Chain A
Amino acid sequence: MKIEILGTGCAKCKKTKEIIEKVLKETGVEAEVVKVEDVEKILNYGVMVTPAVVVDGDLKTVGKTPDEKEVRKWISQ
């Protein structure tokens, strides 16, 4: 599984990464977590407000920090 966090480096983006890594650790799910900071790449996903999260190429959330429950749902699918 590949999880991409789209964000230009704001505080919310860092928090999103922390939450995702915490859930991955708790559930033991193996995933590659990548931060995408390039504006062009972020826009290629159609995202204008960060943070956004993409799981295996699928856009999951835009413009807000997800909570742990949401992250669990994405990685269990």
Chain B
Amino acid sequence: MVDIFYPLQWIADKLTYEVFGIAPDTHLGASVNFIIYDVMKIFILLAFMIFVVSYIRTYITPEKSRKILGGKKGLHYHLLASMIGVVTPFCSCSSVPIFIGFVESGVPLGVTFSFLITSPLVNEAAIAALWATLGLEATLIYVISGILLGVLAGYLIGLLKMEKYVADFVYKVKVGDQSKKPEELNIMERAAIAYDSVKDIVGKVWIYVIIGVTLGGIFHGYAPEGILAKYAGKGNPFAVPIAVAIGVPLYSNIMAMIPIVESLIGKGLPVGTALAFLMAVNGISLPEIIILKKVLKNELIGAFVLIMTISIIFTGYLFNIIL
């Protein structure tokens, strides 16, 4: 298959070995080449993915979603909720209003959770960075397992009948009339919104990308070959739970983590363990739990964290077996 990113590698090689005059086969050469190549590739894919997803997003608002999902039970609605979660904007500041809005319109708790779980886990920025660093196959696996994780964990939470562990005030909130919406958008306006999101998100994450790529580049160039295969390889049954246990409390920008994880994989960390780690970092975070505490009682938060942790560990093992 033709590598469409070949020109980037060519530019990275030219810059590293000719313009900067660093000898190939040196630690410095390997690091600098890694950094230049990754930075270009991540930013190109980032701009592309954010534009595409933001454009689609102008058609799927949470207001529409809650209407579609209201009062619906069944596994396929978990799947739908989870997929809506992929394209819906989800900054932690919107999680509370969206949660209440869903519950108020009769979306079952489990279906609401399917949405809440997948939404931060699978987003356009993470997809772009994963695609740039780990390739299309690992990215698809991450996206599909992120969606399935939302479906299954949400379904389990639904089975547990934990409705009484939602804060009481949530059931009293009346969401105002949403029929009166701002005027319909034309293609140019949608494109303008998508372009704004590109500027907005890239403006926010670029520094994390640079930090992550730099650390990843240093590790790539200087760490001994196969160092992680030796200690955290598939032969170590504790590697996945340990990776998840590190990832859960670690609140770090996913955009910084991905290039670091890329370099870890290069030194022998199994892809399944790496993806489980990224899911733990992205899917369960302390700030998000603190925000959700406003609307959920401790029992439900506990169930959520427990179910997520176990499913992520399971996902990690599964990938290490099949990949």
With A43-B101, A46-B178 as given contacts, are A63 and B96 in contact (CB-CB < 8 Å)?
no
Question: Once the chains are docked, how many angstroms separate the CA of A62 from the CA of B64?
Answer: 13
Give min CB distance, A3 to chain B, whole Å.
Answer: 16
- Which residue of B63, B93, B169 contacts A40 across the interface (Cβ within 8 Å)? B169
State whether the Cβ of B268 lies closer than 8 Å to any Cβ in chain A.
Answer: no
Q: B302 to chain A: which residues have CB within 8 Å?
A: none
Chain A: interface secondary structure? loop
Which chain A residue lies CB-closest to B174?
A44
Q: Which residues of chain B in 160-188 are interfacial with respect to chain A, using CB atoms and an 8 Å cutoff? A: 169, 173-178, 180-182
Whether B96 pairs with A46 at a CB distance below 8 angstroms is no
Whether B93 pairs with A8 at a CB distance below 8 angstroms is yes
Chain B interface residue count, CB cutoff 8 Å, equals 27
Give the size range of A's interface with the partner: 20 to 34
1/0 contact trace for A8-36 toward B, CB 8 Å? 11100000000000000000000000000
With A10-B91, A61-B182, A62-B182 as given contacts, are A42 and B97 in contact (CB-CB < 8 Å)?
yes
Q: B117 to chain A: which residues have CB within 8 Å?
A: none
State whether the Cβ of B193 lies closer than 8 Å to any Cβ in chain A.
Answer: yes
Q: A1 to chain B: which residues have CB within 8 Å?
A: none
Give min CB distance, A30 to chain B, whole Å.
Answer: 25
Which chain B residue lies CB-closest to A45?
B176
State whether the Cβ of A2 lies closer than 8 Å to any Cβ in chain B.
Answer: no
Please give me the 3 A-B residue pairs with the lowest Cβ-Cβ distance, nearest first: A46-B176, A10-B93, A46-B178
- 4 further A-B pairs in the complex, CB-CB below 8 A; given A44-B174, A44-B175, A44-B176: A39-B96, A49-B89, A59-B182, A62-B181
Q: Which residues of A are interface residues toward B (Cβ below 8 A)?
A: 7-10, 39-40, 42-50, 59-64
What are 23 sample pairs from A and B whose C-beta atoms fall under 8 A apart? A7-B93, A8-B93, A8-B97, A39-B97, A39-B173, A40-B169, A40-B173, A43-B97, A43-B100, A43-B173, A44-B175, A44-B176, A46-B180, A47-B97, A48-B63, A48-B94, A48-B175, A49-B97, A49-B98, A59-B182, A61-B182, A62-B61, A62-B182
